[in-house]
Each structure stands twice: as C-alpha cells, then as structure tokens.
C-alpha cells in the first residue's frame, strides 16, 4: 500500500473483546523452500512443509516476554527460509528473510519495522527435532537463531512505540549470543570478529551500545511522532521524520556503517521515498544526502526524489 494511505483517517471503529488476551506476541507466516537446483535426497518427502509448520508454531505459540498481547496487537511478519544445501548427516544450509510490520495509528497503512536477510544459517533437522525457546541455555543452532530474531523483532517494535523500551528483548537476544558454544560462536553468522560487522552479533551489539541511543531516539520519533501523526498533520509530521533521519545520519557519522543503521536503511527506503515525494526540493535534497550517506549503494533508490 502506498504511503498516501497515511493521509486517510479511517472513519470506523473496531470493538475488541477485552477478555481476548493471549500470552504470545507474534503472528508470523512462515514459508520454507529450496533453491531449484537442490534435490533433497536425504530428507523426508514432507521436510519443507514440516519445517515450515514447526517454525511457524515455534514463533507464534511461544511467550517471548512478560507482556500479554491481544490478537489484534500481535506483531505480524513474514519469514522465508530457503534451503541451499543438504549434507549426508541431515545438516542443512539455508538463507532466512524476516520482515515485520506494525500499523500506523488512525490509518490502514502498515509500516515495515524489520527487513533482514541472513545467509548464514546452518542447522541439523530430523523428524525428532524439537525447537526450543532459548536465551541463557543453548539447545541447538536453529533454536538460537529463531529465538534471537524473535527477540530482535520484539525489541524494534517496542522501540517504535516508546523510547528505549526494547531493552528487555535486546538483552535476551544478547544472552542468546553469549551462551553459544565456541563451535557456533565462531560461525560467520554469530562471531564478533567478522570484518564487515554485519551479522547477528553486531546487530544486537549496536542496539545495546550507548553510541546508538541517538539512533533509537530517532527511531521512536520517526514512528511515534512522525508516521503516527501523519494523518492529521502531514507537513509537520514530515518535518519530524526529516529531523529523525537527520539524527540517524549524524549518528552514522559517529559510528559509520553500523549494522542496525543499515538494516533501517534497507527496511525504510521505499517508505522514505513515498513520504518525501510531495516534499519541497530542499527536503528532498536533504533526504537523499542523508540516506546515501548511510548507504551509498542505495543511491538509485532515491532517484524518484530528483
């Protein structure tokens, strides 16, 4: 849906049953597939559908925090797992893409909160495998990866509603990292020594790093003070969004190429273009300068603002 929906005040009210309360916070749709060239000769014929069902149930039937969510409050998301390799002992390599969203107040528009692709997934899986929620105990790599991303999704969603309210979830995600056995902690998806600093370790490290307090404040202002008020005060709210982007850009100068900042850039690029298509030339130029300063590879994404 295009961002012009932000300018539409929905003239209807939905009455929810206040007793319709569930512990679980997530409402993810999970799809598992394989690359076309791969033949799964070791796996059970129902492997892909069974794995998708188990991951979906794991996300959606687990209580990840202490808050209770009604059905309409649950965080929606889409998860795509692509199996890229199968070994003789039923160990699989895969890529996982996770996209989450949250509604924008008083509109039918939903804004993307996290859009991330992780190419470093390695896990064993058989008919007897059991996925287990974890933070301070290691069970298996897949349980740790999925638990980690559940916590990160909840942390980012919380931060979009209240300043720094994602700390509880980020600390849980960090516990997942800290309890990994050495054999897994040195995997490219987890290790702290990776030169690019673009993996699970660095994403949560950024979230809890005091140097990213400015980013997290701006992340809140972008959503709660900008998008959520766009329906009633579009010009003022656009200025708030620009101010938030300016803060994020300044934070990037202090901590260049932070993974959390790059995730934001990748998640929000289309939305930012839609917000500022109707802006004046000065605002457009500022947005292009900020966002290409964060990630120059995204320069072509902002050509619509020329």
**101-148 pLDDT tens trace:** 999 999 999 999 999 999 999 999 988 999 999 999 999 999 999 999
DSSP letter (8 states) at residue 104 = P
Residue that the structure tokens 């202002």 belong to:
221
**How confident is residue 157, by pLDDT bands cut at 50, 70 and 90?**
very high
% of the chain surpassing 70 pLDDT: 93
pLDDT of residue 68: 86
- For residue 241, pLDDT beyond 60: yes
- For residue 10, pLDDT beyond 70: no
**How confident is residue 195, by pLDDT bands cut at 50, 70 and 90?**
confident
- Count other Cβ atoms within 10 Å, centred on residue 163: 14
pLDDT of residue 42: 85
What is the chain's mean pLDDT, rounded? 91
Nearest to 184 by CA among 248, 221, 141, 139: 141
d(CA 273, CA 4): 11
- For residue 154, pLDDT beyond 70: yes
- For residue 8, pLDDT beyond 80: no
pLDDT of residue 144: 98
- CA 109-281-5 angle, to 5 degrees, is 10
Q: What is the mean pLDDT of residues 168-177?
A: 98
- For residue 286, pLDDT beyond 60: yes
pLDDT of residue 194: 77
Q: What is the mean pLDDT of residues 219-246?
A: 97
- For residue 14, pLDDT beyond 50: no
Q: What is the mean pLDDT of residues 292-304?
A: 92
Question: Can you say whether the dihedral through the CA atoms of 111, 74, 138, 175 is positive or negative?
Answer: positive
- For residue 9, pLDDT beyond 80: no
Query: Cβ contacts of residue 37 below 8 Å, gap of 6+?
Result: none
**How confident is residue 7, by pLDDT bands cut at 50, 70 and 90?**
very low
The length of the chain is 306
54-61, long-range: CB < 8 A, 24+ apart: 54/129, 54/131, 55/30, 55/79, 55/81, 55/131, 55/146, 56/28, 56/29, 56/30, 58/131, 58/133, 58/143, 58/146, 59/26, 59/28, 59/30, 59/146, 59/150, 60/24, 60/26, 60/27, 60/28, 61/24
- For residue 2, pLDDT beyond 70: no
pLDDT of residue 231: 94
pLDDT of residue 22: 60
pLDDT of residue 19: 38
> What are the pLDDT digits (tens) for 79-102?
999 999 998 888 999 999 999 999
Instruction: Say if residues 261 and 248 touch (Cβ distance below 8 Å).
Output: yes
DSSP letter (8 states) at residue 298 = G
Instruction: Say if residues 175 and 152 touch (Cβ distance below 8 Å).
Output: no
């Amino acid at each position: 849906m295009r961002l012009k929906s932000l300018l539409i005040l929905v003239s209807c009210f939905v009455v929810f049953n206040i007793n319709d309360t569930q512990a679980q916070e997530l409402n993810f749709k999970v799809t598992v597939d394989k690359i076309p060239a791969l033949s799964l000769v070791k796996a059970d014929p129902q492997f892909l559908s069974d794995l998708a069902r188990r991951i979906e149930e794991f996300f959606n039937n687990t209580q990840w925090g202490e808050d209770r969510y009604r059905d309409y409050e649950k965080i929606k998301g889409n998860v795509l797992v692509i199996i890229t390799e199968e070994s003789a002992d039923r160990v699989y390599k895969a890529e996982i893409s996770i996209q989450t969203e949250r509604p924008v107040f008083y509109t039918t528009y939903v804004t993307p909160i996290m859009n991330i692709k992780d190419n470093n997934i390695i896990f064993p899986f058989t008919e007897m495998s059991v996925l287990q929620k974890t933070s301070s105990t290691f069970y298996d790599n897949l349980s740790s990866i999925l638990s980690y991303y559940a916590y990160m999704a909840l942390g980012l969603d919380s931060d979009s509603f209240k300043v720094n309210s994602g700390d509880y979830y980020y600390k849980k995600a960090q516990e997942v990292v800290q309890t990994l056995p050495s054999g897994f902690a040195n995997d490219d998806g987890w290790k702290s020594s990776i030169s690019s600093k673009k993996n699970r370790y660095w994403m949560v490290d950024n979230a809890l790093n005091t140097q990213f307090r400015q980013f997290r404040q701006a992340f809140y202002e972008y959503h709660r003070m900008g998008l959520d008020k766009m329906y009633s005060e579009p010009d003022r709210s656009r200025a708030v969004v620009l101010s938030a982007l300016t803060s994020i850009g300044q934070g990037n100068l202090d901590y260049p190429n932070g993974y959390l900042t790059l995730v934001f850039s990748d998640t929000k690029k289309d939305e930012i273009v839609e917000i500022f298509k109707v802006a004046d030339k000065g605002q457009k130029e500022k947005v292009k300068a900020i966002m290409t300063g964060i990630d120059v590879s995204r320069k072509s994404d902002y050509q619509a603002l020329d």
